Amino acid sequence: MDLKALEHPTLKVPYEVLNKKFRSAQKNIDREMSRVHTDLDELEKKLLDKPTTVGDVSRILTSVVDKLNAMKRKAAESIGDELDAARVTKRRTDHLREYDTKDQNLQTLWRKKRLDRILVEYFLRCGYYDTALKLAKHSRIEDLTNLDIFLVAKEVEESLSNHETAQCLAWCYDNKSKLRKLKSNLEFKLRQQEFIELVRKNKRLEAVGHARKYFVNLEDNQMFSVQKAMGLLAFPPETEVSSYKEMLDLSRWQLLVKEFRSENFKLYQLNNYSVFTVTLQAGLSSLKTPQCYHEDTKNADCPVCSQYLNDLASKLPFAHCSQSRLVCHMSGHPLNEHDHPMMLPNGYVYGENSLVKMATENSGKIMCPRTKQMFSLTDLEKVFVM
Partner 1 sequence: MDSCSLVEKEIDKVLTKFSFVSDQTDRQLNELINYAEKLITDLAEAPEDEELSVAQSLMLTQYIKKAKDGSSKVAAEHRDLHGAVSKVGKAVDRNFTQDFGVVNKDGTFCGLDRPDLVNQVICQHFFRQGLLDIGETLIREAGVDIDVNSKEPFFEMNRILEALSKGDLQPALKWAQENRFKLRENHSSLEFKLHRLQFISLLHGGPQKQSEILQYARNFEPFAAQHEKDVQQLMGSLLYINTGIESSPYAYLLKPVQWADICDVYTRDACALLGLSVESPLTLSINAGCKALPALLNIKQVMQQRQCTDVWSNKDELPVEVNLGPEYRFHSIFACPILRQQSTDHNPPVRLICGHIISKEALFKLSNGNKVKCPYCPVEQSAADAKEVHF
In whole angstroms, the minimum distance from the beta carbon of 175 to partner 1 comes to: 17
The reply to whether 367 sits near partner 1 by the rule CB under 8 A is no
Our CB check for partner 1 shows the closer of 179 and 207 to be: 179
CA distance 101 to 122: 27
Q: Which residues in the 137-156 window bind partner 1 by CB under 8 A? A: 138
Fill in the per-residue mask, 224 to 263: x = in contact with partner 1 (CB under 8 A), - = not in contact: ----------------------------------------
Q: Does 181 bind partner 1 (CB under 8 A)?
A: no
Task: Give whole-number Cα distances, 325 to 184, 330, 341, 385, in Å.
Answer: 53, 15, 11, 9
118 dihedral zone (left: phi>0; alpha: psi -120 to 50; beta): alpha
Report, in Å, the least distance between residue 204 CB and partner 1: 42
- Return the closest-CA partner of residue 377 out of 365, 362, 361, 363: 365
Q: Which of residues 101-130 bind partner 1 (CB under 8 A)?
A: 111-112, 114-115, 118-119, 123, 126-130
Restricting to residues 285-324, name those near partner 1 by CB under 8 A: 285-287, 289-292, 297, 299-306, 308-309, 311-312, 315-324
Instruction: Collect all residues with Cβ–Cβ distance below 8 Å to 77 and sequence separation of at least 6.
Output: 28
Rule CB under 8 A: say whether 68 interacts with partner 1. yes
Q: Choose one: 86-94, 147-155, 163-171, 241-249; the region binding partner 1 (CB under 8 A).
A: 86-94
Which pairing describes strands 365-367 and 341-343: parallel, antiparallel, or unpaired?
unpaired
Per-residue buried b or exposed e for 56-93, using 16+ beta carbons within 10 Å of the residue's own CB: eeeebeebbeebbeebeebeeebeebbeebbebbeebe
**Cα-flanking dihedrals φ and ψ of residue 375, to 5°?**
-140, 175
Smallest gap from residue 335 Cβ to partner 1 (A):
8
Q: Is 2 in the site for partner 1 (CB under 8 A)?
A: yes
Among 226, 280, 355, 366, binds partner 1 (CB under 8 A): 280
Minimum gap (Å) between residue 162 Cβ and partner 1:
19
User: What are the backbone angles phi and psi of residue 327, rounded to the nearest 5°?
Assistant: -130, 135
Is 377 near partner 1 (CB under 8 A)?
Answer: no
Distances, alpha carbon 153 to alpha carbons 134, 157, 158, 375, in Å: 18, 6, 9, 67
Q: Using CB under 8 A, pick the residue from 17, 24, 49, 100 that binds partner 1.
A: 100
